[in-house]
Amino acid sequence: MTERTGDPFRDLADSSLNFLQRFGVDPADRSAIEDRIMIFEEEVRELTEAVREGTDLNHIGEEAADVIVTIITMCHSAGVDTEALIEQAYRVVAKNDAKTHETHIFKDGKIRRRKA
């Protein structure tokens, strides 16, 4: 049983890797990359279907968590561990926090860098 640390991403990663190991699956097995990609794509499809349906918010959240799990396991298979994922997540946080209306604009459904 994974103990709640107050860090849900790390807890989900630890739980997911422990889950694989409990079933004899090596999370770092590079030969499993195609299987992990296939599972990731399945989970993304389930999430997008749930979002498009838009009626069961708990189901959307559940599918979103499934996608995060598959991202974690796919990345581990590719050699990117939990600490590296967390570091990258904080780099994205810093980049997002640095974007302003002076540097970026919302256009065509996406926030884009303003042209100089």
Judged by the rule CB under 5 A, the positions of this chain that interact with Mg ion are 43, 46, 63, 66
Report, in Å, the least distance between residue 27 CB and Mg ion: 19
Nearer to Mg ion, 45 or 114 (CB): 45
Nearer to Mg ion, 9 or 90 (CB): 9
User: Tokens in use for 99?
Assistant: 């974007």
CA atoms within 13 Å, Cβ hemisphere of 93: 6
Report, in Å, the least distance between residue 68 CB and Mg ion: 11
Nearer to Mg ion, 11 or 46 (CB): 46
Report, in Å, the least distance between residue 7 CB and Mg ion: 23
CA distance 55 to 74: 29
Report, in Å, the least distance between residue 60 CB and Mg ion: 11
The per-type count for the chain, helices as H runs and strands as E runs, is 4, 2
CA distance 64 to 69: 9
Nearer to Mg ion, 41 or 83 (CB): 41
CA distance 96 to 99: 5
CA distance 38 to 19: 18
